[in-house]
Structure 1
Amino acid sequence: MTIERSSSVDLPSMDILRSITHQPTVNTKMSELSVNKPSEIKSKKSDEQIHATQEMSRIITDPTTGKCYCRGKVLGKGGFAKCYEFTDLATGKVYAAKIIPHTRVSKPHQREKIDREIELHRVLHHRHIVHFYHHFEDKDNIYILLEYCSRRSLAHILKARKVLTEPEVRYFLRQIVSGLRYLHELEILHRDLKLGNFFINDSMELKVGDFGLAAKLEPVENRRRTICGTPNYLSPEVLNKQGHGCESDIWALGCVMYTMLLGRPPFETTNLKETYRCIREARYSLPSSLTSQAKQLISRMLAKSPVDRPSLDDILRHDFVTQGFTPDKLSASCCHTAPDLHHTSPAKSFFKKAAAALFGGGKKDKAKYLETLNRMAKEEEELTRLRNDLRRTSISQPCSRQTTDDCSKPPVAPVSARPPALSKEAVANNRQQLRDTVRLIVRGTLGSCSTSSECLEDGTMGSVADAVTKVLRGCLENMPEANDLPKENMGCSFQWVTKWVDYSNKYGFGYQLSDHIVGVLFNNGTHMSLLADKKTVHYYAELGQCSVFSTGDAPEPFVGQVTVLKYFAHYMEENLMDGGDLPNVMDTRKPRLYLLQWLKSDRALMMLFNDGTFQVNFYHDHTKLILCSRSEEYLLTYINEERVSTTLRLSTLLASGCSVELRSRIKYALNMLLQRCS
C-alpha cells in the first residue's frame, strides 16, 4: 500500500494514540469496590494514568528531526539492548530498532563500545549486510534504526527445521561469504558470526548483522587478545589469546556450515570447559550423513592452525559450492519446511535455449546443465517468478514515498571539500577554464569515434567514467549558490533510459532507450541491442567487437541471449511506463548508445554509457538526472517528481547556479560514480 507523505510529523493522529494506549478491561469484584474509600479510588486512577503514560512511550520522537515512531513487538534481545519493530508514523516504513537504555551504558567504556558500533556500521553499504539507517537518543535511550528483516534469522529457521539441505546451505553460504568478503576488504572483523546474526528479509535474502563485537583488523603484534564471541563458535587462537584475524571469522563460518547441515554446533558438549578443550584440540566428529565434499570444506575451515584455513575465495571455488545445485531463490516456506528442489518437468524452448547458450561449452556441458535445470521448479513457476521479479524491479512500480532529503545523503565515497573562497576574477577564470575543459572532454575523449565499436574500444569504461567525473566535480566546486533553477530550458533530443529491469541474479540488466532500442548488459560482460524494428540485433563483445544479425537468423551461440533479449523487450513494452515527459525519439539507424556499467545503491540507480551519457534514477521520488554531450558541450536534464523535465547547459549552471534540490542530486550522482568499482 502506498502511503503519501504527511505535511507534518510532529504529532501522531489521535486514532493511532487511542489504539496504542487502549487497555483491556479488568474484572473487579463488586465487594471490593463497595468498601473503597474516595482516597483509595483516587489512588487507583493515578496508577492507571501512570500505566497509560508508560504505554504512551510506545510513541517515540526523534528530538533532532521531530519524526515520530511507534514501537512494536520485541524482535530480539542482547547483552545491552533489545531490538523492536519500529514504524515511522509519517511514511509507514518499518525498521528494526536497537534500543539501549542509558542506564546500561553509564560507564565510559560501555558508551564507547556503542559509539564504536555505530561509527563502524553506519558506513557499510552492501546487499548482504544489514543496512544502517539512522540513530538518535533521548533522555532515556539510544535508538539505532536498522533494516527490518521480516523472516527473522537463520537461528529461527533452524529451530523450526532442525537441519537444512545442501542446496540451501550453498545458497546461504554464498551470501554470507559475499557480505563477509566486503567486511574483510574494509579490514573489519565481525568476531561474532553465528546463525542468530544472519538475518533473512522478505525475499529470503541473507543479511549479516549485529556489529557489537566487530573491530578493525590490526597488525599481528597489535591484535586484540580478549576472548569475545559466542562460546561454540570461538576459534582456538582466540581461546589461546593469540589475537583475532580474518581466519577467526573463517573458523566461525565453518561452525555455521556444520550447524546448518547437522542441527548442532561441532564443539557442543555438556559443559563449557569441555567445549573449550575440544576447540583447542580442533576435535569434532563428521557423521557419515555428510557428503565427502561437505566434510572436506568443513575440515578445511575448522583447521586448528589459522594458516591452514581457506580464504573466502577458496570457499567459493570449493567443489561443495561449485559442483552441487544452488537455487537462485528460496521460497518463504523454507522457514518451516524443506523445499522441493528436485521436481522434474519437461522444459520448453525459452529456458532450455537460454540456459544452453548462456552456459556455453560443448554438448556434454550443455546436457549436464540442462539436466540440472530440469530438476528445478516447473516452467510455469519459473515464468511466474521471472515476471514477478521484473515487476518488482520496474521503475514504474508504485512505492512508499519518502522525503527527498534522503537523496542528499551521499554513499561512502566523499566528495572533495569546497576550495577556499576566491576573488571574483579567480572564480570567473575557473569557470571559463571548466567550460573549456568540458568542450575538450566532449571533443577529444568522447567525440573522436565514428562507430559504436570504436567508442567502446577507444573510450573505455575507465576513460569515459573519468571524463564524466571530472565534469561533475568541476561543476559542483565552481557552481555558485542559488535558490532556483536557471530559466533556460534547451529543446534538444537525445537518447535516455525510459524503462529498466534488473534481473542480474540470473541473466543481466535490461533497459529501453527513448528511441525504443532495447539493450541487455549480460552478467558475462557482453552486450546485446534489439533495434526499434524488433528484427535487427547488435551484439557487442569485449573491445567493441560488434556482430549484426537478425532475430530469426541468430548464430547458434547467441540463440539463448537473443531469446532473453526479446523477452525483456516484450515485458517492458507490456508492463512498464516511460519515466518522464521527454520526447521518445525514433531512430532506426545503428545504435551509438549502449551500457558500459550500472550500479544500484539503496537510493538510486546509476547507468554509464559508451558515449559519456550518464543517468541516475532516484527510487523514492522518481526524479532523474541525465548528463549527455551535444555540440561539444554537456547538457544536464533534470526530471522532477511531477515527471516534468528541464534541460540546461552546464555552462549555464556554472554561471547561474541551481537549486539545493538539484545540487544535492548532482552530489549524490558524483559519489555513485566515484564508488562504481568499490
Structure 2
Amino acid sequence: MLLNAFPIDTFTPQINGCQRVMMAINLGLERVEDLLHALGDPHKRIDIIHVAGTNGKGSVTAYIANILKCSGKRVGRFNSPHLVTPVDAIRIDESIVDQHIYDAFRMRVEHISTSKNINATIFEITTATAFSIFADRKVEIGVIEVGMGGRLDATNVHPMPLVCCITNIGLDHMEFLGDNIKKIALEKAGIFRPHAKAVVGPQADDNALAVLVTAANDLECHLIVVESASHLTDDHRSVAVCFRDESVKVELPLMGDFQLENVATAVAASEQIPHVRKEHIVEGIMKTRWPGRLEFVDIDTSRGVERILVDGAHNEAAAKSLRVAVDQILDFENILGNDAALCKVGWIFGASRGKDLASVLNVLVREGDLVCATEFGMVEDMPWIKCTPCSEIWDISGRLKVKMNLAMALDEFPARHRNYQNNNLEALPKAAGNHLPTTQPAQQQNQKVVVNVPDQIVDRKQNKVYTKGSLLGEGGFAQCYQVSDSNSQAFAAKVIPKLSLRTPKQKHKLFAEIKIHQMLSHPNIVKFHHVFEDDHNVYMILELCHNKTFVDLLRKRRRMTETEVRYYMLQLLGGVQYMHGQRVIHRDLKLGNLFISSDMHLKIGDFGLAAILKHDGERKKTICGTPNYIAPEVLFDTSNGHSFEVDIWSLGVVMYTMLIGKPPFQTKDVKSIYKKIRENSYEFPLSIDVSDAGRSLIASLLNSRPESRPGIDDVLLHSYFREPIPCSIPISALHETPEFPSLMRKWHNTTTTLTASSLLSGFSTLSLSANQNSRHAARTVLAEIGLQAATQTRAITTTTVNSMSGHAELPVSDNPSPSGAPSSSRQVQMPGAYVSSPLSYETRVHGVRPKRTLTRESTLPKIPQVQSPKSSTSPTLQPQCARSSTKSPSTSSITTSLTTVAVVASQPLPRPTSPPAPKNFRMSTLETRLNTHSNFQSTSTTPLSQSVNSSTAVRKINDIKPLTPPVAFRQSVSGPSTSASRYVNVLEAMQENLSKALYDMKSGVLSKYISTNQVVKAPKEFISKWIDYSNKYGLGYQLTNGCVGVYFNDSTSIILAPDHHHFEYLYCERDTNKNSIHRQPYTMSTYPQELNKKVSLLLHFKSYMQENLFQACTLQSSDTTATQNLEFLTKYMRTKHGVVFRLSNRVVQINFFDHSKIVLSNDAHTITFIDKSRTMFTFALSSLISANTSQKPDITERLNYARDIIQQMVIKKKLRTSSV
C-alpha cells in the first residue's frame, strides 16, 4: 500500500551531531510562509499548477509535467509522498534532481528554520526545499502536488497559480480533513484562488462535486468540470480527449481504466496554458512514466525470477480502482492466449497503521485469493509512519466474509496464483509423448447451437440497421452472412450466438478475437468495421470479400500456377509481417482463412486462435491450429512453447497447397497427419511440375526446427520471387487458369527497387537485392546509430517489408556508388493499385532493422531525399557512406573546412523487438537504471535464446573463472592495452591536448603545443553497435571493422574476428606488479568446454545486433581480414549525459544521450563528431581554433565535457594506482 502520514507526532533526528526537534504533521500555513519569506520567497519567482485530490493527483501531475516539457517549458515537479527517498519527489524536466543539490538546499532551509525559530515540519521543509531548487534552477512552471487536503497544506502558498486542479475525492485522512465527503471536499477546494482557472476532474461522489462547484463559483473562478471519461474507453490503452474543441486520441502509457479520467483531467489543465498545442498533448502523455503505479517488476525468489504487479491503494476508493485494473489485466491475459487469467490472484499486502484495512481488503480480495502479509521498515523522512504487523493483517483477513488463503512468504504461493509468470500457467492439458489430440486442438466439443439471425439486425449503439442477405459460411460457433446497411453498402457479418458462450473461457476467447482483429489495419487483412450485440447474438461487421476463399478457388481450379502463387504469396507475406510487427501470431493460417477481394487481392481473416505476445521472447503453449497446417513445435514441444515461427510453417503449407492442390501432410486420419508432421514426411507429385526454386522455398518454410526457418525478409530474398510476377490477376482466375500476356520483366541480377502494393499496399517501398551477399536488402535502415532506440519513449510507425513496421529499406551494394553518383535502382510497380510515391535515394547506406515493433498507426515516416555531401577544400577523411540530412546551422558553418560524411537518415524508433527470448528476460533501459555499477548501463537490452534461459545458466555464466591458457597459447596483449600506466598516459595526453585547444579557442590563437601536422583520418575501429545485458551477462558490441565482442561482468572478454570463425578470449592477470591482459586464440570449431556458455552468448549478441541494430558506418580503411591481435573494448562507464567507451586502439568514444557522438583518436588530435542529425565529421583538433567557435557550439560543448570526463578518469586511475 502507498505510505501516507498519520498521527501528529514529533521526533528528534541526529544531523551532523546536533539534535533538532521537528514536528511530523501539523497543518497550517504560518510556518511555511515565514520560512519561504526568510528564503526570499522562491515560490513567487515561478508559475505553478497546483493539483489536489484524494486519488490520481500524482498521475495527473506526471502527465501535466510531461506535456509542458514537450511544449518547450522548463518544468519542475514536486510530489508527495516520495517513493523511496525524499529527493525522488523533486524533478526538473522529469529528471530527479541531483542528490548533492538537494542536500545543499535542504541544509540551508533547515538552518533557517532552526535559526529563526520557525520549527517547520518535515513536509514544510521539503516543500520549501523544492521551491528553492526550482527558483534557483530557473524553472518556468512548477507542477505541485498537495501533500494532504489543500487549504492548510504547505504547498498552498502561491498567490495565483496558473491552474488549480482537483482530482477525484474520496474518504481519507479523516482525522485531519473531516469525517464526511463534504468536509473533505471543502478542504480540497481551499487551493482555489479568486478569478483563477479551476479544473475539477471526474468525481465519484456528487456531494464532492457540488461542494467544489459552489466553492469555485463563490470565488468567481473560471471553472472547467471534466466529464467522466468512462464512456471513452476504447481498448484500455487509448482515449479520445477533447482539447480546444478538437478530439485528440492519445495512447495510455499507464495501466488502469482510471487513467482515462486522469488523462482527461491533465489535458483540461494543460489546455489552460496558451502555448500548449495538440502535438504536445499526444507526445507528453505517451512519455509519462509513474513508478509504482500498476508497474510490473521482477524479483528474485527461491524459485527464480517472479514477476510482480506493484501498486498503492491507500483507501477504499483506490482499492476498488486497483481491483478493476487487475481484472482488466487478467482479461487481457486471456486476450494474449494465457489461461492464467482464470486463476485466482495472489496479493503481497503491507500497510501503514491507521488505515481501514478491512475495507481495503474486502474490496481487493475475492474468494480463493491468496494473501501474503509483509512488513516494511523505517520510512526516510517519515518516521511517524508505523507498519501494520503481519499478525494484524492476518487477523483482519480472517474476520472478513471473503474466504482467502494465507501465506507466510511469496515462495508459498502455488503456481496457479502466479498470474504474471512467463507461460508456465497455462491451464490447458499439455500433449506429451505420443498422447496427441485426436481432434482439432483448442476446439471444444460443444453441442451445436442454432443461430437465429433476424432479417433486420439493429445496432442500437450506432443507430444502424443491417439487412440480412445470403449465408456466406458456417463454423463451429458462428455463421457468416452478407448484410447491407441503409446505404446499400455490403458487409460480412459474423454472428455468434450468446448461448454458445457458456463458459468464461469461451467469452474470453471471443473477446480476444475481437480485440486483436480491431487493432489490425492492413490492406491484406480483412477490415474490422464494428462489433455490437443484441439480446441473442454478438455481431462482428467485417469487410466483405466477394470472391470467397482460396478453398473455393481450388475447389474449382484444383491448383494454381506458380505465377499466381508468387503474386499471392507476396501479399500474404506482407500481411503476416505486419501482424508480427504488432506482436500478433495468427496460429491458423490456412486456405479457408485467406479471402479474395473483389479486385482479386488476398485478405487474411478469422483471428479466433490468434494471440498477442506481451513481451519479447514470450512463448505460447496452448495447442491450437488446424491439423493439416499445425507446426510441429505446437504439438511436440509444449515445454518450450511456440512463437511467430508457427506462422512461417503455415506459409509453407499454404504455398504447397496452392501449387499441388492438397496439403503436404494430408492423410485420412488426424493421427497419421500428426505422425507425418513429426517426421516431416511429404513429397512433390511427379505429375505436377514445381520449379526447383519453389521446392527450395517450401522446404525452408517447412523446416522442423523453428529456429532454422527463414524470416520474412529472407523469404523475400529467395530466388523464387525473382521470376515474372503479373501486375494483376483477372477475375477469370476464379474458374480457369489465367493467361498473362504482359508480365513484369524478370528482375536483373543487380540491385532493384520494387514498389510492391501487394506487400506494402501503398505505404512504402521495398528494396530487394539479387546479390546474395547482401542479406540486409529486405530490412530497414531507420535505426539509431550505436545508441539503441530503447531510450526513445515516443512510438512511431515502422515498416520492415510491409506497410506497418514503418521502415523503408535502402539497397545495399558491395561496391557502393561514389557520393553524388545516381543509383542504378529502378522502380518497378508490383500488382495492385495502392502504390504511393516511391522513396528515392541517390546513395547507398548500410543498416539493419528492428525485427518487430509494436506500433499503432499505418503511415510511413517521411524521409528526405539524400543529398550528396559536397567536398571541401580541406584534406579530410573521404566519405564512406551517406545519408539524407538537412544541414543545421551548427554544421553548415563548418563545411568550408570539413568534409561531411553522412551516416543514416532516420526518425527515433520504438525499442526494437525480437524473436523469442528467455522466460526470465528483464526489459530495462539506461534511463531506468540508476545504480552505480562500475560498468555503465546502456540503453538497449536484448533477448537471448533458450539455450541460456534457465536460472541455472544465468547464475553459472558469470561464475566461469578465467581459463588458464596453455603455455603455447599464452601471450600478453601488445600495444596500448598492456598496462594501466600506458592507459593513463593516453588519457593524460588527451586531457592535455583538449585543455590547450579549448583554451586557445577562446583567444583564437593557436598554441605552439597543438600539432598542425597530424594526418586527419578517422580511427579504423570504433563502436558501431552495442547492446546491454549487464544485469545478467555483460555488454555486447560490434566494431566498424565487423569484429563482434562481449565484455562480460567478470571482466573477461571475447572478441570475434570479422571472418566470424576466429576469436580471442581475453582475461586479466597480475604480472610483476601490474595487471596485464592476456589473449587466447581459438576458432568457433575448437575451444574448451568451459567457454561454451560465453561463446553461446557471443553468438546470441552477434545475431541480435546483425538482425536488429544499425551499423553507423563501415570504413574502407578498416582491416576486415585480421584474425588475431584484434582491437577490443577495455572499459565502459555511464555518466550523467552519456556513455564512455575506451578501446584498446587508444580511442575514447562518448555516445551522448541526445544521440550525438564524439570519437577521440590520435591522443585527441583527431576528432570524429556525429551530430544530432547523424552527420559525421572528421577533423583535426587544431582546425577548431582558427574557426568561429560560436558557430559550432555542439562540438565545443561536447569537447568541454569530454575533457572533464577524461580528467576525472585520470584522477581516479591515479588514486587507484597510488592506493595499490
Shared fold, TM over 0.5: no
Structure-2-length-normalised TM-score: 0.25
Structure that is richer in helix per residue? 1
Structure-1-length-normalised TM-score: 0.45
- Higher-RCO chain (CA-CA 8 Å, sequence separation at least 6): 1
Structure showing greater radius of gyration is 2
